[in-house]
Structure 1
Amino acid sequence: MKFLFLFSILILCASGCNNPSEERQNNSIQTTNKYLSFEGKDDQFTGGIKMIPIETPKGTFNVWTKRVGNNPKIKVLLLHGGPGMTHEIYESFDGYFPEESIEYYYYDQLGSYYSDQPDDLSLWDTARFVEEVEQVRLALGLDKDNFYLFGQSWGGILAMEYALKYQEHLKGLIISNMVPSIPDYMEYSDTVLAPKMDPEVLKEIMVYENAEDYQNERYLELVVNNYYTEHIIRMPVDEWPNSIQRGFNHLNPKVYVTMQGPSEFGVKGDAILKNWDVKDRLHTIVVPTLSIGATYDTMDPKQMEWLANEVQNGRFLLCPNGSHLSQYDDQKNFFNGLIKFIKDVDMGEFNP
């Protein structure tokens, strides 16, 4: 009888005590369910997609955004490059941000594939894009307690310009693969990157450059296979992720050429961004800032490190195996460093 009594007590204790492993698993499931939940969200019907009206000097247009996840303390808005590229180049973020419970927003800027594409070239202006980002921020309810702005390439230019005007709304700033000076980028391309190319290939490219024959298929073939695969995404073209292929297919050439110029080998002609430079203003940025550079990037990684030291609270992340799209060709280093920055700022543990 005593044995049966003790056995029944053990059974009761076992049923009344939580198994630590099961408890952790249940908490994880609850956290995941909450992160993925659309309960109480006004974008449930569209699966997180919002078309946001943007006021411009030329009228009202709509831009496309899509929310992934729920985290009231961490909300990351992704600014794509190009200009005129799309959010699709960031689809790799799906492989890393959700497991860290980071809420993030895909966003096609005005003129890009999923958003309205007006024909008025005067809209493709950096200052106007800054005001667009501010309107998107307000529409999404992002503020200084949760708003992280990520910008890569042209998106990095836009992120810097936004921070220089509206940093009081930011919790963290990430500038990825973009130096603070187009003239310096051009000098690096001409004096460091170009000489590394096969001399015969470079000579042939320059024939097309000098003739301004930028749409020639041979020119594009040379640039993509000898420059892009070394400095944009370090993979053979036939191995490029589908998201990158779609992004290039959907690029709006009117936005791209107006701001970047017609050349695939730098900023040329009368492009809007040709003389862009904010080096002398970076010291006014006080918000925690991450500068991401890569060894094989089109942007000088040393200048990306300088940028991190020039802002008042900066950190530098080098992707040693990466190029311009390090989220693909140096993925582990890229996301480990990016997520650590976001978590450090969120926990109040950020230090340069």
Structure 2
Amino acid sequence: MAWWRPAPRRSPPDSAAPAAAPLTSYFPAPDTAQVLTGGVQVVPITTPKGKFNVWTKRFGHNPRIRLLLLNGGPGATHEYFECMESFLPREGIEFIYYGQLGCGNSDNPKDTSMWSLPRYVEEVEQVRQALKLDKDNFYLLGHSWGSILAAEYALKYQQHLKGLIISNMMMSIPAYNKYAAEVLAPQMKPEVLREIRQLEARKDFQNPRYMELLEPNFYAEHLCRVPLPEPAARSLGKTNQSLYVTMQGPSEFGASGKLVNWDRTADLPKLAVPVLSIGGKYDTMAPEHMRMVARQVQHGSALICPNGSHMSFYDDQPTYMRGLTKWILAVDRGETKVAL
């Protein structure tokens, strides 16, 4: 789940999907009887520590397909998903940006006790209710940490889902840590890895040398293999470090925070909703694990981006966007497993 602290846009993918809905349907005439906000809806949520507001913004309108986006980090913002605007509208797919509590435009209680996976699950459920999403239209896409949250939500509330997308996240932190230590780390030059390990042993994570080593030797290989696009740089530059360190831990080689023992691999067969598992050949997450996720759920499809890393929607954009839209439109037609 590591993050980089901007690749020219490629041509849009071909699509065999049905023609998109007319623009008058996707962008309906505004209701002049109310004050318009460009799709922004601030959702009040109730937590054990009181009431807060989280920010959402709807893009487009399709009563059958409403895709809620859960950003990663933990603690980044919705902004790195802005690439979706170049692909999903042409397919008539409505999508919704959402700032989790502590992220982006949403309230930040600055209370580490609020950074809790079960509490975030209940937050997503409150957002779902406020946005009137249901089993006939609700698709949930989580990326990285957002996939942990999406999986936890689905395991408790899948009756409200039409489809689930697990993007670039293994379903076991112990397995992720093992992959990072045994597969990713040895790919680095020994002298580089040795210096990184020395800095981590001293807990010297704020040392500028730590990032100097990680950016060309790790991030450029496994996080994003093209120059970081502006929306991603803008998003990751706003990461809530309190949330990130509390949940993920300070190291970029595996997790050591509250998520250190999280493992839902054994529970994957409980998921009956259609699931799309997305990975990248060069991802921080093991591609074979992402294929396994698709096999273990009841109705799974796998999409492995051959040129992609952790942010495959940027560095293997044609593969990622073509597969994502094809899968969503197929599930909308009633299919449960889709060949990608």
Distance (whole Å) between structure 2 residues aligned to residue 91 and residue 317 of structure 1 = 21
Tell me the secondary structure at the aligned position of residue 335 of structure 1: helix
* Alpha-carbon contact 1:299-1:324 (below 8 Å) kept: yes
Counterpart check, 1:163 vs 2:154? yes
Alignment match, 2:247:
259
Aligned mates of 2:32, 2:298 — CA distance in 1: 37
Give the count of matched residue pairs. 320
Change (3 A) 1:343 1:29: closer
Q: CA deviation at 1:260?
A: 0.5
- TM-score normalised to the size of structure 2? 0.91
Q: Distance in 2 between matches of 1:154 and 1:48?
A: 25
Q: What amino acid does structure 1 have at the position aligned with 2:328?
A: I
Give the partner amino acid of 1:175: I
Q: Report the equivalent of 2:308.
A: 322
CA distance in 1, matches of 2:237, 2:187: 28
Moved more, 36-45 or 133-142: 36-45
2:324 equivalent in structure 1: 338
Alignment partners' CA distance in 1, 2:328 and 2:139: 8
Q: CA deviation at 1:351?
A: 2.2
Of the candidates 72, 91, 97, which is equivalent to residue 106 of structure 1? 97
**Alpha-carbon distance change, 210 to 139 in structure 1, aligned in 2, over 3 angstroms:** same
Computed over aligned residues only, the root mean square deviation of the Cα atoms, in angstroms, reads 1.5
SS in structure 2 opposite 1:77?
A: strand
Q: What secondary structure sits across from 1:67 in the alignment?
A: strand
Q: Deviations over 1:209-261 (max 9, x none)?
A: 111101110111111221111001012xxx31111111111110010010001
Residues of 2 paired with 1:346 and 1:29: CA distance? 13
Question: Does the Cα contact within 8 Å between 1:223 and 1:265 map onto a contact in 2?
Answer: no
Larger radius of gyration: 1
Shift of 1:37: 2.2
Contact persistence 1:84–1:251 (CA under 8 A) = yes
Instruction: Give the C-alpha shift of residue 181 in structure 1.
Output: 0.2
SS in 2 for 1:250: coil
- Matched letter for residue 306 of structure 1: M
3-state SS of the aligned residue for 1:51? strand
Matched, 1:301 2:292: no
Give the whole-Å Cα distance in 1 for the aligned partners of 2:155 and 2:90: 32
The Cα of 1:41 is off from its aligned counterpart by 8.9
Percent identity reads: 54
Q: Secondary structure at the match of 2:242?
A: helix
Residues 8-23 of structure 1: pairs in structure 2 closer than 5 A:
none
Distance (Å, rounded) in 1 between the aligned partners of 2:245 and 2:92: 38
Range 126-135 or range 39-48, more displaced: 39-48
Give the corresponding residue for 1:59. 50
Instruction: Name which of structure 1's ranges 112-121 and 321-330 shifts more when overlaid on structure 2.
Output: 112-121
Q: Which moved more, 1:206-215 or 1:162-171?
A: 206-215
Counterparts of 1:319 and 1:56, CA distance in 2: 38
2:136 corresponds, among 135, 145, 149, to 145
- Give the SS at the match of 1:137: helix
User: How does the TM-score come out when normalised to structure 1?
Assistant: 0.88
> How far does residue 42 in structure 1 lie from its aligned partner after superposition?
8.8
Query: Is the Cα contact below 8 Å between 2:277 and 2:294 reproduced in 1?
Result: yes
- Aligned positions of 1:113-132 closer than 5 A: 113-132=104-123
Tell me which residue corresponds to 1:199: 190
Q: Which runs of 5+ in 2 are unaligned?
A: 1-18
Give the gaps of 5 or more residues in structure 1. Answer: 1-27
Task: Tell which has more relative contact order, 1 or 2 (C-alpha 8 A, sep 6+).
Answer: 2
SS of 1:50's partner is: strand
Structure 2 partner of 1:13: none
> Whose helix fraction is larger, Structure 1's or Structure 2's?
1
In 2, the alpha carbon distance for the partners of 1:282 and 1:41 equals 46
Instruction: Tell me which residue corresponds to 1:17.
Output: none
